[in-house]
Structure 1
Amino acid sequence: MNILKLSWKPLAWTGVYLLLILSLLTNLSIVTAFLLIVPVVVLFNILSIKGFLTHVIPVWLVALFIHPVYLLLALYFVIPAILMGRSYKKGAPAIRTIGVGTATILTEMLLLLFIGTVLFQFDLSGYMQDAVNLTMKPLQDMVANGTLPAEFVWSTEDMKLLMDMMMQKIPYALILSSFMMAVITHVIARPILSSMGYPVMKLKPAREWRFPRSLIWYYLLGVVIEMITLDSTSGYFTMISANLVPVLNIFFCIQAIGFFFFLAHHRKWHSIVPILIAIPILLFPPMAIIGIIDIAFPLRQLMTKPKG
């Protein structure tokens, strides 16, 4: 009975792992890709290295038998999963584990992009152009049929401008997606492992989220680069200006959310209040200014200073 009690959980997570892999070539891949690291992290923590390999290798063989692409995708996601799982086993702080996952996923993305471009002549610009054309084709057909006025179809110049903007934002998209994968993995895997008797360090409470003041200088540098490259359409500095400030805004939004959780804790507001405030902060990026002020000035001390 004890053997069965201990063994069914790894088998269940192995099944989840296989189902997630098989979903990667379906319409569900947009969602499941963000979840695929979770079962591997769980298996890596609850099993020995030998036990881990005993469970994942059969999954890889099944994936290979169905289609080699499944195996390649499985191997792609297993590397950040193992590194995050190893970080959990060492008892590393949660923010470090998320950083390890983010850096690993981002490195893999860049490596794949480099290999695809150099060895397989993959044209990312051409691929994105085809995607934009495919998106615009229904509108073009509706204009041709007289269903919509011609104003609904973009001109060639507008399409080129959109393509330039999309190409410049690729680093930001890669960083954001890598970060989201790592965060989602931690948010799901940590409570699962803790409930199974494998303690994993939590993130600090939201009210304690604070970033170093040096981010302000990076932000000012980004703003200056944006001003210098305002009329430019190409070049490395334009790429930096298109990505540095948006990436920093993510940190400032997190800082702003942390500030309102701090304020809610100090003023003893209902716990739902800072959560409701966090929604417009995420949906309306200019509210990141609150995070900038909180980093640059002692805003928390000023807001909580006793009157009189």
Structure 2
Amino acid sequence: MNQSKKITDGALLTAVYIALLLIVVFVPVVVSFGIFILPIPFILYASRHGFKPTIIMFLVALLLSLVFATAVSLPLTVLAGIGGMTIGSAIHRNLTAYETWAQGTVGFIIGIVIVVLLLQLLLGINIYNEMDVAIEDSVTMTKTIMDQMGLGGPETDEQIEQLEKQMYDFKDIIPSSIAAISILLAFLSQWLSYKLMNRIENKRLAFPPFKQLNFPIAIIWIYFIALILGLINLDPDGAIYLVVANVMALTIILIAIQGFSFIFFYADHKKVHKAVPITILVISLLFPFLFLFIIRIIGIIDLGFSLKRRLANGNKT
């Protein structure tokens, strides 16, 4: 009976996945939202039957996606399948929401890396080379427009060179950018799956309140080590420089998330309306260069001095 259930669920959820994939591939306007929905059939199946049976579903989905869709669908299926399997298997093993999120993030990182390799092997697309071409074209176009508008000159050329350097520097943090994207993909896919599973399976899956989020304090030490190493005049083309740049970028993201979490906690602690921390979050994201540094400082203080625990304990006494 259990084996029959696995086969029935697998066939049904694979068909659902292929239908979603066709919509995403042939209706480009829904791609940005569809990428978060595609992992859900794999999450549902893995949450019910575990990781190993889901591998078979994943392989069948890969084959069918090539038959019914296009070669472009292969990277999407790889990403959705691996990310979905890791999140679903974590739910199957009754891991906490944040442990599931962490496992899903790793799964999406692996999926993105495999997709990048597939693009290079099958289509000959090298991301770094494509970025070089795009940067060169952008800089050339900018210079041409400036000259045509009569705004060319030494100062303008210097500004364009600085912009070009910043664009090339972005290439160095591609790994941490992949991690950040994976964090977002895992969170939204998991959150949507929780909502669906609670409705159709009468479960009570949910993330703990954001205000209770606490990352390990080790993140601060990793951040400060990367910060100190960043002050050393490292070779920009060296491996150590790339590692430091990516570790720094990723820890900054995590510390900022911790800072936002404290703001939500403090607002609740002081009985401030929820609209206030939400407004702070939105404004900070809209104007990151003005506010994210402050949010990062708040995150560091919260982690380093356990501000949430101190405030909570102080409220009890």
Q: Into which bin does the TM-score normalised by the smaller protein fall? A: 0.7 to 0.9
Structure 2 partner of 1:98 = 101
Provide the identity percentage: 20
Matched, 1:227 2:234: no
The correspondence for 1:214, drawn from 201, 212, 218, is 218
Structure 2 partner of 1:147 = 149
The within-5 A match list for 1:1-308 is 13-14=16-17, 16-23=19-26, 26=28, 28-42=30-44, 44-45=46-47, 57=60, 60-61=63-64, 63-113=66-116, 123-144=126-147, 146-147=148-149, 149-150=151-152, 157-158=161-162, 161-199=165-203, 201-229=205-233, 232-282=235-285, 283=288, 284-286=291-293, 287-300=295-308, 303=311, 305=314
Contact 2:120 2:126 (8 Å CA) reproduced? yes
Scaled by the length of structure 1, the TM-score of the pair is: 0.79
Q: Does 175-184 or 212-221 show the bigger shift?
A: 212-221
Matching residue's letter, 1:285: L
Matching residue's letter, 1:224: I
The unaligned stretches of length 5 or more in structure 1 are 1-5
> CA shift at 1:226, angstroms?
0.8
DSSP 3-state at the match of 1:203:
coil
Matching residue's letter, 2:251: L
Q: Does 54-63 or 107-116 show the bigger shift?
A: 54-63
Aligned partners of 1:95, 1:51: CA distance in 2, in Å? 22
Contact 1:169 1:243 (8 Å CA) reproduced? yes
> CA shift at 1:177, angstroms?
0.8
DSSP 3-state at the match of 1:202:
coil
Matching residue's letter, 2:102: G
Q: Deviations over 1:223-272 (max 9, x none)?
A: 1111113x642212221232222211222122122212222222222222
Cα distance change of structure 1 residues 22 and 32 upon mapping to structure 2, 3 Å threshold: same
Aligned partners of 1:137, 1:203: CA distance in 2, in Å? 47
Higher helix share: 2
Q: Does 39-48 or 158-167 show the bigger shift?
A: 39-48
Contact 2:40 2:193 (8 Å CA) reproduced? yes
The unaligned stretches of length 5 or more in structure 2 are 1-7
> CA shift at 1:33, angstroms?
2.8
Matching residue's letter, 1:218: I
Matching residue's letter, 2:86: L
Aligned partners of 1:52, 1:253: CA distance in 2, in Å? 36
Cα distance change of structure 1 residues 154 and 197 upon mapping to structure 2, 3 Å threshold: farther
Aligned partners of 1:177, 1:220: CA distance in 2, in Å? 23
Structure 1 partner of 2:3 = none
> CA shift at 1:216, angstroms?
1.8
> CA shift at 1:126, angstroms?
2.0
Matching residue's letter, 2:187: V
Higher relative contact order (CA 8 A, sep 6+): 1
> CA shift at 1:59, angstroms?
8.6
DSSP 3-state at the match of 2:72:
helix
DSSP 3-state at the match of 1:150:
coil
Q: Deviations over 1:252-306 (max 9, x none)?
A: 1221222122222222222222222333444332021101001111423555636
DSSP 3-state at the match of 2:94:
coil
> CA shift at 1:158, angstroms?
4.1
Aligned partners of 1:99, 1:170: CA distance in 2, in Å? 19
Aligned partners of 2:161, 2:55: CA distance in 1, in Å? 54
Scaled by the length of structure 2, the TM-score of the pair is: 0.77
Contact 2:18 2:64 (8 Å CA) reproduced? no
Q: Deviations over 1:13-61 (max 9, x none)?
A: 446523344248x465444334321343235557899899789947953
Aligned partners of 1:72, 1:125: CA distance in 2, in Å? 18
Aligned partners of 1:51, 1:246: CA distance in 2, in Å? 34
Aligned partners of 2:72, 2:107: CA distance in 1, in Å? 21
